Amino acid sequence: MTSLYLRWGGLLIVAVGLSVLTYNHYQQHLSTVSPHQMKEQAPRQEIRLFGMVRGGTLEGKVKAGDATFELMGNDTSVTVHYQGPPPDNLRELKTLILIGKWNPSDNIFEARDIGLITNYGFVIGAYLIGLIPLAIFLFAMSRRVGLLYEEIKESKLYQEE
C-alpha cells in the first residue's frame, strides 16, 4: 500500500509541475490586455490587445493586409491600424487579438499581426474534466485492490481449502 501512495504522490508532483509550465507559457505568450487597460497603463512595449471589431468600421485593403477599424472592449474602443501579413480572420464583429504597439500621441494602435484566439479557459476545463475523473477512478480501484489483497491475506482465506 505504501508504494501505491508513493507512486501517486510522484504523479501528483509531476501534475503540479505541468500546471506550472502551462501557466508560465500562458503568462508569457498568451495573456492579453483590453483597450481600457491599455489606455490606462499606456505600455511602451509590444502588447496583445483583445477586443471585437466594431460593425461598419472596417476599411482599407483588408485582403492585402492593410486596414483600419475600431476595436471595442467592454466600454472603451480604440482605433486600430493594421499592417501585416494578409489576415485570415479579420472581419466585422470578430473577437480577436492584435499584436502591436500603442501610439499615445495620435491614439492609434499600430498592429503588426493578428494572434489566434486563446479561449484558454475552455482548454484548461477540458483537460481537467477529461483527466481528473480518470485519475480518481484509477486511484480508488488500485487502493481497493490493495485492500482486498490485505483482507484475503489477513483472513487466511488463501490457506488450503
Partner 1 sequence: MGAKNKKVGVIVSIMLVGGALTYLALGNFGENLVYFFTPSEVKAFSSEYYQKKVRVGGMVVEGSMEAYADRLGMTFELTDGEATIPVTFEGIPPDLFKEGQGAVVEGYWTNKHNFQSNLIMAKHSEDYMPIELKRAGVKLPRKDFMKTLVQ
Partner 2 sequence: MIIHRVIRKVQRFQGWFGSGAALCLIAGLYIGLVDSPPDYYQGEVVRIMYVHVPLAHTSLFAYIVLSVGSMWYLWKRDPIVDNMCHAVAALGAIFTTLALATGMIWGKPTWNTWWTWDARLTSYSVMLLILISYLMLRTFIDDHEKEARYAAVLAILGLVDLPIIHFSVEWWRTLHQPQSFSMRGVSMSSEILIPLMCMSIGMSLLFSYMLMVRTQLLYLDRLLHAKKGRLLSQFHMSQSDS
Site residues, partner 1 (CB under 8 A): 52, 55-57, 85, 88-89, 91-95, 116-117, 119
Smallest gap from residue 114 Cβ to partner 2 (A): 10
User: Please, which residue, 112 or 143, has the CB nearer to partner 1?
Assistant: 112
93 part of the interface to partner 2, by CB under 8 A: no
Strands 47-53 and 59-61: unpaired
Residue 84 to residues 28, 68, 106, 114, Cα–Cα distance (Å): 22, 12, 20, 8
Residue 61 to residues 58, 64, 83, Cα–Cα distance (Å): 10, 5, 10
Q: CA 37, 49, 95: angle at the middle one, nearest 5?
A: 115
Interface residue with partner 2, options 6, 13, 64, 145 (CB under 8 A) = 145
Q: Encode 38-87 in three state secondary structure.
A: HHHHCCCCCEEEEEEECCCCCEEECCCCEEEEEEECCCCEEEEEEECCCC
Q: List the single partner that 95 binds among partner 2, partner 1, none, CB under 5 to 8 Å by kind.
A: partner 1
Smallest gap from residue 46 Cβ to partner 2 (A): 18
Q: List the single partner that 136 binds among partner 1, partner 2, none, CB under 5 to 8 Å by kind.
A: none
138 part of the interface to partner 2, by CB under 8 A: yes
User: Please, which residue, 116 or 147, has the CB nearer to partner 1?
Assistant: 116
Q: Cell 501610439 appears where? A: 103
Question: Which residues sit at the interface with partner 2, rule CB under 8 A?
Answer: 11, 14, 18, 21-22, 25, 30, 88-89, 116-120, 122-123, 125-127, 129-131, 133-134, 137-138, 141-142, 144-145, 148-149, 151-152, 155, 157, 161
